[in-house]
Structure 1
């Protein structure tokens, strides 16, 4: 293999490029990214960047020295439009073709949007440009903010807006946010963080439409499915994402809520692997920082080996910072798993809980208990099926 193209210049793409070089690949390495920015860290976008505690220049995932050591060609501000597997080429905007022996798909995901046109003041949050546009609206003075979606991104945005002194309402269609991830009891504890900090949480109703001031004017309110109208000068929609696979239509790759891969991140097509938010690995698509970084090493190894020589069986892990509380979760919780508080108290918003099934631990959740959490996380990792080579 003399050349590899990494399609996606964010976290997963950067880690894949690092892993390729670490595996000894010394051929041509091309990294294609549709944003004009180099690789940057996305978690601060909904937190420190919005509040002003973190500047855009602090988000870079690699410094100039490492970029030089990667010895890669960077095609930033360039969109991949197709994959010609027979011709071993990636099609780029402007009719260009990038011929390559191997491909790493790392195009990530795009935020879901409400139907209809978005008036000024209505935002989604996925990219650095998104975050800077939202911050510009939030620094105009105290405003009424409605966050649509009570998941981790929505909760983090609500927390940041409340810290800036805005009046914040979170709208969640489900009876309670985060139930699929945490279960009813623990989701209720995390939902209570909103009320603790003066944020209104409205659950059990969706959004009918956004109201704007005249044709093309700024957003003025959010009409709920039950008919209520919430006044708003700023609206942030965080209702999930979809993997960016439309450009792969007709490529022969199996597309099913992402690019379907085996446990080694390898697709059925020779010399094509996928990592990060776009990859559906062994039936599961994980949208978390840790999954993207860990998958990259496995994918790079298998791409260079030309077969699935290694699989990844890591324990899923994610974290979220809300209202000064660090929420950490690791494991594979299933409905019916019972959470047991091991230390601390949910009432104090500081505790460690272990989910159990038939007396065996399946997952661990912590609020502001990082050290004991990490100990239990390591225990879960040791119990997980080890990687094979």
Structure 2
């Protein structure tokens, strides 16, 4: 899938480069076309001039000869007409009537001759189709040459970047894999220690490890997002939400924050479990992070016509709600984090057509509402 994406990107760049070059050469191409048209027109008039001279020469030679039969010079491309003084047709090289439309022509007044012809009219069908066809073929050939050249040059030029990218991907995958096991071991042992001996210091360390897990999950999702297809599945939203709240309870307790829950049982939706977890985790962790100590957080999950997931905190509020979903944007740098959580949430919601509503008041708190189509 990634190779296909890279190939499409190279093709688009090559097309853009080709179109840019063609646009740049439009003026000289137009001048060339005008030159070709003028040259073509000149040659066509030259041909009928020469043919008319041949006919005149044959008529005058016939005057001086004793032959009784006149051999009229013919051409497959040029039609000729001999007319009398009254402009009645004496002879023509075609069965077609004299027509000046779409033709170039020349009329010559003849001297007295044995044919009693007064006028010679020579016509030739005239069209710019040949010129336009020639220009089109030339443009197509130049365009193909530029496109193929650009494609090969761009493809060769990105090889070092592809190799570097592959190396970085392998490095991050290996690093994430190596980090997951020790993080899990640390968290498990800290939870066992906390059951035996509860201290503030131990709780803080355990909460720090849980925060590391959240960061780890976000980074893992970002790395896999471009190459893994997150398929939808029947997910028990209520059950998953309760599980994640249990994990966040110790983080909330460290700030003496109470979590008020209103969760309707057995709400099922067609959604990828990993992506749904990212929405839940990032929304709840942000609510805890930016809430005041000894405050409340309200979490609601209900289903009417649509499924509504809502998280409300009573913290400092958000100054600019239009920026919070931008990657690396942090409302408060003192709180820490990388500013990628809500960006991940926004991308997941956009992909699955989930409506996000963010309401916030400074020094009063914020409410994040997610509306899922069922």
Q: Same fold (TM over 0.5)?
A: no
Give the TM bin, normalised by the shorter chain.
under 0.3
The structure with the larger Rg is 2
TM-score normalised by L of structure 2: 0.18
TM-score normalised by L of structure 1: 0.18
Higher relative strand content: 1
Higher relative helix content: 2
